[in-house]
């Protein structure tokens, strides 16, 4: 077993495949010990053994179904109690089976439990714990559909808007705390997510699908550059600045004593 790493331990949820597994690999390369969380413990252990051998870091696995409240609390307790944890990547998530009108509401409830409820609990636990220590980092995996809910399943898009809003709000509260926060908004990324939901990426334009390691490398570069919102495919960052500026311009008009005159009501 190696010494405790200087970088600390990174807890990565949903690290048995796709984006989470790629984060685990890259973070091990940066010298982080790892706490890998997902349901499929065999896959976690296999990845852990590979990363320990390749990078000389210490890897622990924690089997948890993050759509289950008791399992989320188990992981939350670890976040609060384990002083070695310096980074959490809230990545575990599921995608939609299709359009909202064709989807199964019970499945969407499970999606909200995983994509929203668990992320909320773990991000807040990390924020409170890291803020008290004056250091640490939180990476939340949202999606570009947070910005374009009209073109994708509404519940899924809303879960990702939740992750984006939560991250923006946490960043504001944590501004002077020494804790780094980032929301990553991937576009289409080649992973198992569509297959798991009974679909496939095969009919999609390959020019719109990013390789998973490119996505994670870009996201980590954005993290290093101190970006709060990282959109890996976005070259022209003035577009994001303009969207944020437009939102800011609305600010002074959003809560006033009088209704707007066009409604013809009020004194
Ligand atoms: N791929 C894309 O195009 C894309 C685009 C934007 C955002 N994202 C987001 O990226 C994140 C990762 O997705 P991915 O594309 O890498 O998909 P993926 O390959 O399907 O991986 C999903 C990961 O989440 C874990 N997971 C699923 N349900 C879980 C549960 N109930 N409890 C604990 N872990 C669970 C899975 O592990 P187990 O099955 O072992 O539990 C797996 O490790 C998600 O939040 C997704 O919304 C993906």
247 in a structural domain: no
Q: Is residue 258 part of a domain?
A: no
CA of 135 to the centre of ligand 1 (A): 27
Between 69-81 and 119-133, two packed helices, what is the crossing angle to 10 degrees? 10
Share of the chain above pLDDT 90, in %: 93
Take atom 2 of ligand 1 and give the residue whose Cα is closest. Answer: 189
User: Ligand 1, residues 48, 63, 71, 92: which to mutate, most atoms within 8 A of Cβ?
Assistant: 92
The enclosing domain of 153 has a CATH number of 3.40.50.720
Q: Is 156 a catalytic residue?
A: yes
Indicate if the pLDDT at residue 4 is higher than 80. Answer: no
pLDDT tens sequence across 5-35 = 789 999 999 999 999 999 999 999 999 999 9
What domain range is 142 assigned to? 9-236
What is the helix (H) or strand (E) element at residue 121, kind and residue range?
helix 119-133
Q: Can you tell me which atom of ligand 1 is nearest the CA of 44?
A: 40
24 in a domain, yes or no?
Answer: yes
Rounded to the nearest whole angstrom, what is the distance from the C-alpha of residue 142 to the centroid of ligand 1?
A: 11
CA of 90 to the centre of ligand 1 (A): 10
In a domain, residue 266? The reply is no
CB 118 within 8 Å of CB 110: no
Q: How many domains does the chain have?
A: 1
CA of 245 to the centre of ligand 1 (A): 32
Domain presence at residue 134: yes
The catalytic position among 23, 32, 107, 156 is: 156
Is 241 a member of any domain? no
- Please tell me the residue having the least CA distance from ligand 1 atom 23: 14
Estimate the crossing angle of helix 18-29 against helix 212-224, to 10 degrees: 50
Residue 2 has pLDDT above 60, yes or no: no
Q: What angle do CA 70, 129, 25 make, to 5 degrees?
A: 75
pLDDT computed for residue 3 by the predictor: 58
Which ligand 1 atom sits closest to the C-alpha of 20? 16
| Spacing of C-alpha 118 from chain mean position | 11
């Amino acid at each position: 077993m190696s010494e405790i790493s200087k970088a600390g331990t990174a807890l990565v949820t949903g690290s048995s495949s796709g984006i989470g597994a790629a984060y685990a690999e890259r973070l091990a390369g940066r010298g982080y010990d790892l706490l890998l969380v997902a349901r499929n413990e065999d896959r976690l252990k296999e990845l852990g053994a590979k990363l320990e051998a390749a990078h000389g870091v210490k890897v622990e696995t924690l089997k948890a179904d993050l759509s289950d409240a008791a399992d989320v609390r188990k992981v939350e307790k670890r976040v609060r109690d384990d002083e070695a944890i310096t980074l959490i990547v809230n990545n575990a998530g599921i995608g939609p089976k299709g359009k909202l009108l064709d989807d199964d509401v019970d499945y969407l409830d499970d999606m909200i439990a995983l994509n929203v409820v668990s992320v909320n609990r773990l991000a807040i636990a990390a924020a409170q714990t890291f803020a008290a220590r004056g250091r640490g980092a939180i990476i939340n995996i949202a999606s570009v559909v947070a910005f374009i809910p009209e073109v994708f399943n509404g519940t899924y898009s809303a879960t990702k808007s939740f992750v984006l809003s939560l991250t923006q709000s946490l960043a504001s509260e944590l501004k002077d705390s020494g804790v780094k926060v980032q929301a990553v908004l991937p576009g289409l990324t080649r992973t198992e997510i569509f297959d798991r939901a009974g679909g496939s990426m095969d009919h999609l334009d390959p020019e719109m699908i990013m390789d998973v390691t490119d996505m994670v490398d870009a996201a980590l570069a954005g993290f290093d550059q101190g970006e709060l919102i990282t959109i890996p495919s976005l070259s022209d960052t003035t577009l994001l600045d303009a969207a944020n500026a437009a939102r800011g311009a609305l600010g002074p008009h959003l809560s006033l004593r009088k209704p707007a005159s066009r409604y013809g009501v009020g004194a």
